[in-house]
Structure 1
C-alpha cells in the first residue's frame, strides 16, 4: 500500500492505539481525540483518509463529517465511520450521511486492513480517472484546434487559388468573406454563425475553377455563350462543396450568391425568402467588393456611387435588411478605407 496520510478521530485512547498498531507502517498515521482537534488538524495538513468515530467527546461524528464536507478541500475525502453498532441500520445511516464505509468495534485487524486498502484503492482510481479524463479532454481539444486550423488554412489556400485566376481581383474572396462577416456581426449573429458565413464567403467563387481563364480575364464584352459559362460557376461550385458533408452551408453560398431578391438572378431564379439567408448576405458583400475593386475596364468606383448602387438595388437585387446594413457600414466608413483592406 502506498504511504498515505490517515487521520483517526476517536475519543477512546485504546481504540486509537489499536488502529495505529494495525495500520502502521502501511500508512502515515495521525490520531486525535475530539472533533475540534480534527478540524484544527485538517486546516493545517493534507488528509487522504479519515477514520471517524460516530461518538466523540465534544460532538457527534456525523456532525463533524458534515462540517468537513462543506469545505471544498474535503468534499470528496473518503471517510470510514467507526462504530460499535452491529445493526444494518448503522450501515444505512453512514451511507445516507455520505460516509464511504464502516468499520465495527471491536476491531478485527484483517477487516480493518482490507477495508482501508479497498477505500484507498478506489480513491486512487477515482483521482487518476479524473486526471486521465482531464488529460484526454485536453488532447481532444488540441486535436480539434489543430483540425480547425488545418481547415482554415485549406479554405484560405483554395480562396487564394481561385482569386489567382483573375489578375484584377486578387483578394476578392477574402474581402467578400470579411464584409459578409461584418454584416453578420452588425445583425447580432452568434460567433458560430459569423464564422460560418466567413468561410462561405471565402469559397463562394470556387466554381470559377471550372471556367476558362480566358473568359474570366477577358477585357471586352462577353458573348452570350461566354456569359453562360461564367454563370455556371455557381453550379460547379455547389457541386464541389456538396462533397463536404460536415459543412453543407458552403454549397449553399456557392450556388445562390448570384440570386436576386426580385427573382431575376441565377442559377435557380429564387426570390425573396426562397434565397438562403447566407447567400443573401454574401450577395451584398460580393456586390460591394465588385464595385470597390479595380477592374481591367475601370478603376475603383467613388464611394457615393457605390452607396447609390447599393441603395438602388435595395429590394430588387438585394434583401432590403442586408442592403440597409451595408449602407450603414458605408456611412460609418467616412474615409473610404474599407475597400483597401
Structure 2
C-alpha cells in the first residue's frame, strides 16, 4: 500500500514542491496550510503514515500543533511527525525531539534527500508496527497457553473432590463478575479470573480421604485442610511473572473480622482480590453438593452472605454477590454460564 503523507506548511511553494517530490515517489500526499487544518483533517480521516510539519507558522506554530495533535490521539496510536524547519536553532530541535518528533528536515530541502528521508521513516514506522503486531499476537498466544495450562491444573485439583468438580472454574467466573461490577478493567478482571482458578491449588497437598470424608472432620483432619492456603501460596510464588497469584491462594480463607486462617489478618489488610474470591468461594460452596450435605436453597445462601457481612466478608463485595443472587430469579447461576464458559 502506498504510504500516506500529510505536509503542513504556510508557504504554498513549499507545499507544492513537497507534493511533487513525494507524489513522484508513489506516495499519497495531502497538503495543508495550517495546524488548524491538520487537526480538522486528522479528526475526520484515517491517520496517515507520517506528518511533515513546519515549525514557524502564524497563529499556531508546529510545536503547539503537535501538542494538540497528541492530545486528540490515543496513546500508542500517535502519528509520527517530522518537523520542517529553516532555522539553525539547536534549541528548536531539542524541544521538538523532547515532544516526541521523529526527526527534522531542513528547508529548503533537496528533492532526493527529502524522498530518501521520508521513505526511510515510513519503512521504519511500518517495521515497528509489524513487530508490535507480531509481539502482541505472540503475547496473546502465550497468555492463552498459560490459561489453558492453569485451567487444566485447576481441573486436576478439583478432581480430588468427587463432589465439587468444576469448583475452581466457577469461583473464577464469580470472582471475575464481582470484579467487573466493582469497576475492574478487563486486564484486572482476567487477572482475578486466573487467581480464582488457582485459589485451591494447595489442596494438592491434602490427602484425598480428608477432602472426601463424608462426616465431620477431626481436629487433625481440619488442621490438614487449613494448610492448603499456605501450600498453594508456596507453589504459586514460583510463578515470578504473576506474583499476585499467590495472594489469592494464601488469603482466600481469611475473614473480614480477623478470625480466618492461615494468618488471621482482617479488614483491608486482606488483599482486595482475596476478599472478592472469598465471597465467590463461599457462594460456590453453599450452592454445591458436598460430601456432608446437599446444596443450600437460594434463600439460605442469600441469608448466609447477608449475615456474613462485616464478619466473614467484605460488605462491599458481599453486597455485589447479593445483587447477583437477586438477579438470579430462577436460581440457575450456580449451574449456568456467566461469561460464556461452562461452569
Could you tell me the TM-score, scaled by structure 2's length? 0.70
- Number of equivalences: 269
2:183 paired residue number: 188
1:125 paired residue number: 120
1:109 paired residue number: none
1:337 paired residue number: 332
Give CA-to-partner distance per residue, 1:190-226, whole Å, 9 cap, x none.
2222222111111000000111111111112211111
> Which of 208, 231, 237 is the matching residue for 1:236?
231
Contact 2:256–2:311 (8 Å) recurs in 1: yes
Matched, 1:157 2:138: no
State the alpha-carbon separation in 2 of the partners of residues 100 and 49 from structure 1: 22
State the alpha-carbon separation in 1 of the partners of residues 318 and 87 from structure 2: 69
Q: How does 1:189-208 map to 2 (within 5 A)?
A: 189-208=184-203
Contact 1:49–1:78 (8 Å) recurs in 2: no
Give CA-to-partner distance per residue, 1:280-305, whole Å, 9 cap, x none.
11111111100101122322211111
Matched, 1:214 2:209: yes
RMSD of aligned alpha carbons: 3.3
1:102 paired residue number: 108
> Which of 289, 295, 299 is the matching residue for 2:290?
295
Give CA-to-partner distance per residue, 1:5-60, whole Å, 9 cap, x none.
xxxxxxxxxxxxxxxxxxxxxxxxxxxxx96xx59xx69x934399xxxxxxxxxx
Judging changes above 3 Å, is the alpha-carbon distance between structure 1 residues 47 and 339 closer, same or farther for their aligned structure 2 residues?
same
Which structure's CA Rg is the greater one? 1
> Which of 8, 18, 25 is the matching residue for 1:48?
25
Query: Match of 2:311, SS?
Result: coil
Contact 2:86–2:107 (8 Å) recurs in 1: no
Consecutive unaligned residues in structure 2, runs of 5 or more: 1-11, 43-47, 55-84, 93-103, 337-343
Contact 1:78–1:119 (8 Å) recurs in 2: no
Judging changes above 3 Å, is the alpha-carbon distance between structure 1 residues 74 and 236 closer, same or farther for their aligned structure 2 residues?
closer
Judging changes above 3 Å, is the alpha-carbon distance between structure 1 residues 132 and 75 closer, same or farther for their aligned structure 2 residues?
closer
1:85 paired residue number: none
